[in-house]
Copies of this chain bind each other. A is one copy, B any other.
Amino acid sequence: MDRRVTKKGDDASGKERPTLKTLAFMTGLGVTTVSRALKDAPEIGAETRRRVQLVAKQIGYRPNRAGVRLRTGKTNVISLVLNTEHELMSFVSDIIYGVTEVIADTPYHLIVTPYSRSQDPLDPVRYLVETGSADGVIISRTQPNDPRARYMLEHGVPFATHGRTDMGLVHPYHDFDNYAFAGEAVRALAAKGRSRLALVTPPVGLTYFRYTVNGFADALSEVGASEVPFNTVSIDHTIEQIRMRTAQLMRRDDRPDGIVSSAAAATLAVVAGIEDAGLKLGRDVDVVSKQSSEVLHLFRRELLVVNEDFRLAGYELARAVLGWIAGKEPGSLQSLSKPSEVLPYRG
């Protein structure tokens, strides 16, 4: 059964969605001419061009995506690949808004491609590339040696990563300067007289784990503070795990008097753990935490925060992918965002 109820043919009857054929009929031109006129091809007369574009605007012509895609292979789709277990809530929401802000006045659509714990992170990317489902891909949870980035480079698919890689390969990325963040955090704690510091790290294996750990370590020796190892958790752990292990840590004699936390959700658990151990934030221990929305100062005024803007990340990542698709040099599409100062609660 055909899906259309009425034939279109050459009549200009009202209801059907206009196609190039409709425009060709209305203007008395050929389909080819109309197609070229709409994309400002040079061999079309100036008047004809204007006329076609006027009519097209009037009747609200929009190119059929399936037609374009079938003929050219261009999907006009950007895919955001997300881990359904380990992404931060605020990350998902904000990065999507950042991306959509950029593609709002382009023909691009955003599709969300999920993968779960059990899957190889390469799976969704392979799917996208094999089926040609997207013109560009955005991935997060980037690793120093990232198979997904390597795969897409090999297959010539434009992409951008949230976080850098370290494979000697050039590609667009946006990253938050976690080395600077950890350093600033340590210095802020040192300025408060704290000298025995622990770090709640990003997930081991991701690139920004290294940057964070290095920034932390370098600043420690710079200010002459020492590290209290806290390797049993990362921000990928559950609230309960972090809370419990923080409480354990804080009950030890050699407990830290300062903690640096890489994510707001983890910080909630850390503070709960501190209080479980009967200690008081700001008196017995200070905590510096990253956050992506202004919640931590409502939570505890004593917290010191550094802001990371995920909407900006989405914005930059989308611009980077689109830039690559448009032919710009991948190496010119890399950006690093500097952390804010370490901010205390302000009235």
Contacts and interface: CB of A to CB of B under 8 A. Distances in A.
A115 B320 CA distance: 22
B65 A67 contact: no
Contacts of A294: 239
A89 interface: yes
A207 interface: no
A131 B65 contact: yes
B298 A272 contact: yes
Interface residues of A, number: 49
Interface string A271-311: 11000000000000000000001110011000000000000
A111 B114 contact: no
Instruction: Please tell me how many copies of the chain the complex holds.
Output: 2
The 7 closest A-B pairs by CB, nearest first: A66-B69, A92-B93, A66-B70, A100-B114, A268-B298, A89-B93, A3-B73
Interface of A: 3, 17, 60, 62, 64-67, 69-70, 72-73, 75, 77, 82, 84, 87, 89-90, 92-94, 96-97, 100-101, 104, 109-114, 130-133, 239, 243, 265, 268-269, 271-272, 293-295, 298-299
30 contacts: A3-B72, A17-B131, A17-B132, A65-B131, A65-B133, A66-B75, A69-B69, A84-B100, A84-B101, A87-B93, A89-B89, A89-B90, A89-B94, A89-B293, A92-B92, A93-B93, A96-B114, A97-B114, A100-B112, A109-B111, A110-B111, A111-B111, A112-B112, A239-B298, A243-B298, A265-B295, A268-B295, A268-B299, A298-B299, A299-B299
